[in-house]
Each structure stands twice: as C-alpha cells, then as structure tokens.
Structure 1
Amino acid sequence: MSILRDAKDTNVAGSAFAVAQGDGNVIHQTITTYRSGPDGIEILFKFISPDAIHDAEARFEAPRCHPETRIVVQEDIMTWGVPLAGAVQDPAFFLWLLGAAGTGKSAIQQTIAEKLDEKKIVAASFFFSHQFIDRDNEGKLAATLAYQIALNIPDVRPHVAAAVIDNPSVFTKSFEKQVEILILEPIALAIARDPSSLQYWPKLIIIDGLDECKGEDHRLSVLVTLHKCLASGRLPFRVALASRAELPMRDFFAPSGLGGSCTRIIELNESYNPGADIRLYLGSAFTLIRNKNKLELTWPPEAAIDKLVDNASGQFIYASTVVKFVSDETQQRPKEHLQLILDQAVISSAPYAALDATYTAILNKSVSPKESITTLRIALGIRLADFSRAGFCQLTASEIDSFLQLEPSHVERLFGRLHSLVIIPAGDAVKLKPYSLYHKSLRDFLAAPSRCGPELSVIPESIVERICAQILLSTGRLEKQQRCPESCPNFVHGDFCLVGKQQIIQFVEEDQGTRLHFHVPMHEALLNPDFNGSSLQESLLNLDAEAWVAERVRHRQHMQLQVMYYLVHNVVFGCSSVFQCGNICQRWREAILAKCANAGWDIPTFRKLRSLWAPPIGTTTSVPWRHALQLGSS
C-alpha cells in the first residue's frame, strides 16, 4: 500500500508511519527521503566528473588486465581490501600501488574496481587523467566520491542530498571543506541513526593516477585530507591509491612520512614476475591476430615473443602498444608491422629505450611525422575560454578539425597510421569526444627531445605559432559557440557574429613537470616584435589577399584588418627598412587600403603616413601596432 498517494514535491525525512488497512493489520513503513524542493543528488550530479568513475561509458576502452595475468597482485590488493573470513584485517587503511609509467597500474585498478563492484564492495572510485580538464585536478574529486557514496549507501543518500541543498556554495570551497560537508557529515548522521548498518556498507575507495592531478600542492592536499579522515575513523573505508613514485606521494608514503605507518605499499617490480604475464598476454593477442588474418600457425616465432618480452622490461604499455600496432585494422599488415618493431635497435639501457624505439617507428610511418605531431599536440593542449563556466573547455575532435581547417582527408593523412597510439573519434563521436592518447607515456616521449630525437621533436614555440597563425586566418575575436545561432558556421567567432565577449585561447602542455600556459588575447602574440612568423609566409603567399580582405570588410572586422596591415610589415617577410618592403607586405597592404577605400572607410591621412614610415616588425625601433593604422567606416 502506498502512503501520501498522488503527492508531488513532498518529501519526509526519517519519519515512521503506521498505516491501518481495512483488515485491521498495521503496516509500519519508514520513509527516508528528502525535504520538499529540488533533489540535492540531481544538483550534485552537475558538479561531478562522470567519466572519472570506473563504470563510465568513457572508460569502455580503458586498459584492463588480460585474463590470467596480474593474478598475484590482484589477490594481494583484494585481500587487503576485503580480508578472507576469519583473517586478521591489515591495520593499514591506505594502499599505495606504485610503478613506473606503463607498468599496468591503471589496468590493475580498473580490473579490481570492476571485480569488487560486482560484490558491492566499492563505495566510490576516481580515475585522474592528464588529458581531460575535469579529471586533471582535484576540483571535482570530493563531489564525485560523495555522489557515488550516496548512490551505493542508501543510508547516506538523504544526508548528502540535504548537505547540497543547505550549502549551495560548497562546490566553491577547498577540497578538505567539500569532503567535510559532502562526505564526513552525512556519514556521521547515517551512522548515528543506525550504527548497525555500517557493517553492510561497501568497504573500498579506489583512486587512480594521482600523479596526473596537476600541482604538487593539490596532490598533497588530497593525501593529507584523506589521511586525516581515515586516521580519525570518520571515513569508514579503505583507500587504494595508484600513482607513479613522484612527489609528494614518495615523501608522504615513506616510512618517515605522514602516511608511512598506515600504508600497505605494493610496487610493480620484478617480484610480481611481469615478464610471465606479458608473455601470456602476447601469446593470446597474437593467436587472435593470427586467426583473424589466417596466418600460419608458426607465426610469430617463439624467438619474436622472447625478444618482445625482453624489450618490455616489465612495461605492459610496450606490449599493448605493439599489439595495437600489429593488429591495426586500418592497415591490415600484421607481419610487416611486427617485423618493423623487431627490427628496431634498442641501443640504450635507458628504462624506456624499447618503448621509445617503438613510438619512433610508429610515428615515422606517418606521411608527415612532424606535422602529425604538431597537430596532435595542439589537439591535446588547446583550451578555449568558456566564460559561462568561468573556466576553459576542451575541444571535441570536430571542433579541432574546424579550428585547424582539417578535412576528413587531412585527418586521415595525419592520423591514419597512428591508430595504435591515438584514440580518434569516428561517426557521431567526433562531435562529442576529443582526440586523446592511449597512454600518457607518449606525451612524455614527445615532450622530451632527448627521447624523441630531433626528427620528431617539435618545440612549443612552433606549436604556439601555428595556433596564432590559425587564429589570424580564421577570425578576429575568439569565442566558443554559445550565443550564436546553431546555423552560424564559425567555430571561432568574429566581429560579425552575435557574440559580444572577447575571449582567449589557452595552450597548456605538460613538459617534464612544467605546465606551459599560453594565452592569446586577439592577436597580441602575433604582433610581438620577438615573434618569428616564418610558418605564416607560405600561407600569406598562397592566400588570395583581395578575397580575404573583402570578406573582412564585408563583415566590418576593423580589428583584424588593422592587425594584418601591421603584421605583414615584417623582416621575416622580406621588409628590410621603411621603404624596402617584401612582396607579401606590398600585396597585402595594397589590398587592405584599396578595399577599405572602395567601401568608403575613413583612413586618416596622418595615420596612413605614420604607418608607411613605421619600421618593420623585428627591428628594435618597431612601433606599437595599435598606432600603425586606424580604420573606421565613414
């Protein structure tokens, strides 16, 4: 029998009702819901990172342990997290799974999360990732954990919902304060109401890739806050955390560190015999490839497997990259690809020498390796300001293609042979998902000239120059498509669009621990006297200057025309003095002056003369660009 029949937006929290039926029986019902008004859990959902949860659709392609591999380390973790019946529980409430890049930490964490989730043991999970702006920091960690705890523990849910309603500004507070309001206080209220229910709750929180959370101070804040909560007993779970052995984790979990005495450490080294697991994985993967391509039973020879296992040196990322490359369905050349890998000479004893050689071989298969790498690094690092959310947003594959003016044929030429390294959205996914990497080790490789070598090394300045050039050739004002009608064809909107705010592009790239931030307000960076515009030269030579200018005049883009007028007067383009200008400068300035005059725009004579006398960009006497020419409609 239902009570409060047909009621709407009426919630009663923690009340007991006696319902009398016609036969005289009394049914006692306890309703644990929320107060009237909006649902706090629905509000909470708006502030979480759904893709960071282990069972998210976005983690469909996440690495997992191959069947029958990593058995011992999985058992060690699960025994720590959920002791066998009658066994004494390990007093350590932290577990730190550490290992070098590519040793399989994330695959183990993902596999553990899925296995224990089936047994209702996982209270919450969070997988950090350097590739996504809502997963490369701790900003949404507390909310995401609280959301899962609320869903997985019904006793806690109403109190989490109430906390969100009572504290609407909680999401602007520090990580520690968010944990207090969204997790600790609701758990305390639930336990106070029914202490016996605690024994039936899930036992484990899984956090992966803390080293991919930006900022050493922020990582330390997460560790200290979790330690405080666990040590006090207010957080009745265990936390399995995986990361590289970087700061501050290395100091925090050291014997003398704050978490040293309460942490079980599992290091993915030779003690877990990774070579045997890699051999098993390769044998199974090559059997599938052999059957699918109808190859002879003797392929690949045992000696090839031996060499790959030896090259891997315990790095599962090496083995998985080889398998992806050999099995690439877009090329269907398994024998050729495997032989290419085997032929790579590993002449260094560096930890990643074999992996680096493999990355080099695959990237060199691209039609234009440096162009592919430049485009890839732009796709991974570029962010566009989104003032409606007071931050920056990541660009989808479709938006990257639009911004860089890439046709499908261009995308195929750049990335068509890199499917084993790059996740390339297809179909409808291009409008929803960004370009991304299978593993962070590739980004580390590309950012280190000592590893990728001069043939594949692309300096950040070249990438920034390409971004600036693209902005210049696209439009005058930057704005992600928000208020323009859906019919507006522009990705980066200009003066003629309905948007009114000037926004900026940010280029962020991890470079051996340093985050490079590059802001582009309009075209200021292009007009810096130190700017080397050599990559623009070919574009400006081949571009139809009159058509480009006519389009800007038609849309009344004064700013862009002024910028271009000053930019072309550049020593890079052959201008050596006031009266000795190169072909690019002459052609573009003539087109701008002529089209503006034809449109009836006013160009004050003294401004025009001053611009003609201005020294070229690149000389020590260059004048500020804003004083070069002022265009205005009459």
Structure 2
Amino acid sequence: MAQSNTPVPPPMNLSHSMLHNPTFIQHTQIIDQRQYIRSGERPGYVRLLENVATAALHDSVHNVDPPKCHPNTRVAIIQCIIDWALGKREEVSGRPILWLKGGAGAGKSAIARSVAERSSDEGLLLGAFFFNAGDASRNHVGNLVATISYQISTCLPGFRDIVSAIIEDNPLIFKRSLKTQFFTLVIDPLSTVLTNSSPSISSTTPGLIIIDGLDECSAVNSQRDLVLTLQEVTNATTLIQFLVCSRPESHLNSAFGLSRIGPILCYIFLDDEDYTASADIRVYLEDKFKRIKEEHLFKHMLPDPWPPHEQVNTLVNKSSGQFIYAATVVRYIESPRHRPDHRLNAIFNLRPPFKDLPFTELDALYRHVISKAEDVTTVLDILAFPALYGNFQAIPEDIEIILQLEEGTVEVMLTDMHSIITISGGYVMFLHKSLADFLSEPQRSGDLYRDLSRDRLSHVARVISFFSNIMKPDSRIADPVSLDILQALQQFPVFEFFKYLLSYGVIPDTGPWGQERYWYNDRSFIMTYFHYLYCIKDICESTRLIYWEQIREYCECVLTVLEDDWSGDWTVHFAFTYHHLLHDPRYHLPRKFSFLDIGSKWGNTGLMDLGTFGDTICYVTTATHRYSDDIIKISHDLIGDIKKEAIFAKSACCCLALLCDEGRANRDSGGIYEIARHDRRNQREHPWYWRQMSPTLPSLPSERNFPGGLVHYWSIKHPNYKMKTTRIRKMLRNMIHPLNRDWPLYILLLELLPRILPLAGRYEPLMDMCRKKCLSSLSQFWPRKSKLARRTIDDYLCRMDSQEGMKM
C-alpha cells in the first residue's frame, strides 16, 4: 500500500526521448500515472521488485525442502558465526568478512540457511542471497544487489522510499557495475537512514548479509569482482558484515588471499579437524534411523537391532565429514516402496542393487567436478594414487615421477577440483572417502572407471623401472606402461644400487645425475622392493629365479664393499657378522638376540655407530625376517672358511674394544661404585640386611646409568624407598632392548663374545687384546658372564698357540 505522503510522479516528459530505426527507446521507465495509483507502489520500488530473485531468499517458497542443519548438529559452527556477527570473538574483531569454505557436500548451504533463520529471529539479518547454478534467476550477480536492497527495505523504516527515489532518478542503475549498485542501492541509503535515526535504533540495526554458494555463480570473473566489491564496501562502512559460503575453488582462494583482503577476512574451513562433522553426522544418522524404525511403512519387518552398530560406524567413516554422503544414504534407505534393511544392505553390497542406484546424486557431483578438468585422463591417473594407497601416501612429487609428469603438474591438474580433492601437508587427499568407491565401480563411474588392480601393477613396474634407470644415467626410460613386472624386475641393477647405499659416506655422493641423492629414501625403497620380491617369488618359476638371483647379487655386493671400502672397520664387521652370519642355525644363537636393531636406534644414542654400511644391512634384515634366512644362507655359501675366520676375528675385536674400555666405565658408572663403598660400617654390623638391601635411591647412580629413568623417578617420588640389589641386577640383565643405553649394550657384547671368538681365526690385533685380559671393571657386576668371557679368551689363545706349534 502506498505511503500517504508519497508524491505522485509527474507525467512523463518525452523531450529526452529519441527515435532510432524507428524503434522507440526511452531512458526512463514509462509507468502510467493511473497504474501507479492502482498498484499502490512507487515506480522505483516496482523497478526494484522486478530485479529481485525471490528464489535466492533464505525462506523462499520456491525452495522445496531446502537444506538446513539437522537439530543438534553443527551447533559449534553456527554459534561461532553468530558470535562473530555479534562481535563477541576478540580474535576476529575488526574482520567484517567471514569466509565459510568446504568441499562439495560439506553442508555449507545448510549452515548458511540455519544461520540465516537464527539471525533473522534474533534481529541480526540484513539480507541473504543463495546462488544456485541450476536456477537462471540466481546463477549470476545481476539480481544480487536488488535482492539484498529489497530485504533491507522490509526491515528498516524509511529505506524503501530512499531507494525508490534513487531508482527513479537513475533507472538504469541495475545495468551499472556491481560496486556502483552496492554503494547506490545499499550503502548510501543505509547510511542516510541511520544518520536520521535515533542512536538507539542505529545501535540495534542488523548488519549481517549472507551470500551462499558463491562458486555457483556462472562467471568466474563475477565471483572475483564480488569478492573485491565486498572488500571496498566493508572499507567504506562499519555497518555491514558479510558471511560468504563457497567451495575452496582455486580462483576464490586467490581472491581471498589478496593482501588487501587479508586484514578484514577470517574464515572457517569445514574440513579442518577443529570443526569435524563426524559427531554431527552420527547424530543425524541415528536420528534418521530412529525415525525410520518408528514411522516407516515396513517398520515391522526390520530386524532387531537395526541397523548394526558397525554399519553406522562405517557410514560415518565413509562420510568423511561431508553431509551429502549421509543425506544420500538416508534418502535412499527411507524410500517408502522398499524395505529399509534391504536398501541398507544394498549400500554395503550385501545384496544386489535396486534399479535406482543408491548414490546417484553423489555420483553426479563427482562426475561434474572431474569432467571440468582440462585433461581428464591424466587427472584419473593421479586420482588412482590416493584411491589405492590412502591419503597419506599420495605425494605429488612421487606421482609426477611415476607418471613421468613435469614438476608441478599434479597441483596444476587438480586446480579445479578443490571441492572434492585437496593437496594438504604435501599429500593429495580425498575430501570424500567414497570417491575411491566411485572410481573403482564401473556401474557408478561409467567412462571414468579405473581398474585399480591394473593401476597397482603399472605403478610397481614404473617404480622399479625408475630406480633401475637412475642407476644407468646414459639410458632412457622406456614407456613404463608397456613394461611387464617381470621385465622391470630383471632389469633392476641390485648390485649397483646397493653399492651406492653401502658406500655412502666413503665415496663422493654425486649420484647418477651428478647431484646429491637422498640416501634414506633409496634405502626405504629397497626394503619395500625386497619385501615385494619375496611376496611374489612363488608365483612362478621366473619370479623364483629372479628372487634368488637378486638376493645373491645383494650378498655379493655386501661382501665386495666390505672388503674394498670397510676392510679395517671392526664395527662394520661386527654388524655384518651379527646380521649375515651369526643367526645361522648351526650357531644356536638364543632367541633373545633375534635381529636386534643395533645400528639405527643404538647408533642414534652414540653407543654403536655402524656407519651407513651397517645401518643399511641392519635395515634390510630387521625390517622383515622373511628373507633374512635366505640372505644368511647365501652369505655363508659365498664366504670361504679363511675369510669367515677373518671376519669373525675383526668382529671379536669390536666386542673386546668396547668391553675393555675402562674410560667408559669411569665416565658412565661412577655412581654404581658407591653401592660397593657405601657405609661399610653398616655392612659389617648388619651383613644379612646389607646383602638384601641397597642404599636409598638418592645415593644411587644418576639417571643415565639405569634404564628408563627408573632411579631418577623413584628418587623424587619416594626418597626413602629402598630397592633390593638383586632386583637391580635382574633389571639390568633382562632389559636388553634397542631403546636402552649403555648397560644393555655391555651385556649384549659380553654374551656375544663367547659365541664369536671361538669362530675367529688368527688376527694379531685380536691376540694382543686377548693377552691383556683387561675387561673393564663393569664386568664384576656380571661375574658369571665375565668368567665365561675370560675362559673363551684363554681358549682362543691356546688354540692360536697350538696352531702355531703345529706349523713349526
């Protein structure tokens, strides 16, 4: 109804009109005075209404069953947004733009609509616009400002008349730029209204504008222009805040990442762990299943209990925080024409699918996003990696090497797919776990289907070919797609590859390309390679021959490098003896010594640095025991008796050098001597008691002299606690573990010496050490083991003397 004080517009003056070919063109809207009186609205407001996209309103009648957050879900995020709008969050104070971003199906529109309803009820909402790519009235920015201006006019007195007058004076305003429209139809009239209002009205004026689905605006340039316009609007006034919801498309990431927008922007990423939706999805599913069991037509046919708890857990996990998956499942199950339990079983492939496939809506989403890629084939090749190996194994650099792509290609190829895929922390990651199911099921994916089993074999061949060819810098990698696994295995240069690994640090690290190589990565590959080789060795005769041939090549390489590069290193010989010889069944090594990792872990503590040679063979044999027995058998076959005796002799030197190091004893175990010297008078007066008890813990050795910080802990927590000496000995004797420090190492060597020395041949440095019989004073705390070690030393000297006598 028209306002009583609204003036009637004068008759239209045609003096400013013109004729052209001979079409009549009028620069102003022609509205008959009688029509104006009959409609009861000003011409400017009628013009405004003509440009309003009613379907873009949050409560539009055109939206049937619009997405909204299920009760008791997304509570934290909604409250966070409301607190931001009210200025209650100090950390984002002064940031008038909030970007709510998330992958496809994450529930952004549901959150935006729920925020719109709540903020409208609480008097915070100034306007909202919901873009939709499939609706011609709201898939562009043309109607955006008019729709927001209309909503403001319904909640602020006086705004309608001002806007109507502006439109009447400037009827082509809707053909102007987005920035001009915002300032002309929103900012200027809003400022005028508030300036003429009382302070109480100005302080309670709503200021939140919601723009949802920005990525669904048809023109990318328009999306960027809108972001820049919002920045200029918020710089010009403090009256308005914008909540913008969209997918994290690359161009939007770029726009919101501009330096001039950063200071006024805060954002919520729905895929961050801080806002995980798993709990909300569980609530949603449980409530929906409860309603189905209470209201469905075939509820009496449902088993009890239903659904199984593990199936609910699987659905939550498959949702990956994206509500679209859970919503799709529920819509499929609650079909009134089918039994819900049968439909749920069809989702889990426990029964044949129905004619209407369960994930049609979700599949359409995947197909739409993937089809936007410029090179769909290459994108599918890339997606096979996270589909096969999981999110935290798909490294872009590795994918580029295996697929022979240029550096940076993976990131470029996935630029337009951030709504379902992200590159985070150096990994290509699926935002939807169900995407892997889509790609691997031909009925769902159609021409986008990937045979993941075939892809896996192709990847194996490519990896082997890559590592094979980097050891031959002059050769070119043939097309890996055409390489068979057997051919790739046969071409792999085991000897050359291991020679580089075992000699690392001795020869210059130039690598086959004349640049620095990554030794740790190569070592990890070879362990995986040997494991794969072992797993396929019994498939056919060819794989069996390749397996034994390459294990033998490895053993030959180890012996060659040991003799050429590490011939004088006793520690390296000890590592070789322990991992390649001593575990042979003929030596009856106790089970407690089964392939301890004496290199990489113990070496890190500075106790036993085996060098890259020792660490490599430790890594190969301790990573898996499956092929260790084969390595030991071949090593014994390759070594003659004389070489074997020399290797055992140098290994014994390594053991004795550490066992006789009195300096280490004085440095590391001064505290333990206090046990023997402590309060000798008490020992004489109470001999039985003293044999059973040690001094109080504060007088015991420092923390580093006992495993696990036990002494340090108890000396603080229980200063009067007494520990039995027998318990200390037992603890030190039994705790032979790679993570422990000096004491377990000393015990290990003390027990291994009697097993190595009898196998050693004549070696003058070893004989000199044996003649001294100078085990460190630490040996007194293990008298039986020390006695056996000294007896073994005597036997070795007698054996060497008798051999010398026989020669004479």
Q: Which has the higher Rg, Structure 1 or Structure 2?
A: 2
* TM-score (normalizing by structure 2): 0.39
Tell me: higher relative CO, structure 1 or 2? Use CA pairs within 8 A at least 6 residues apart. Answer: 1
Between Structure 1 and Structure 2, which shows a larger proportion of strand residues? 1
What's the TM-score once normalised by structure 1's chain length? 0.50
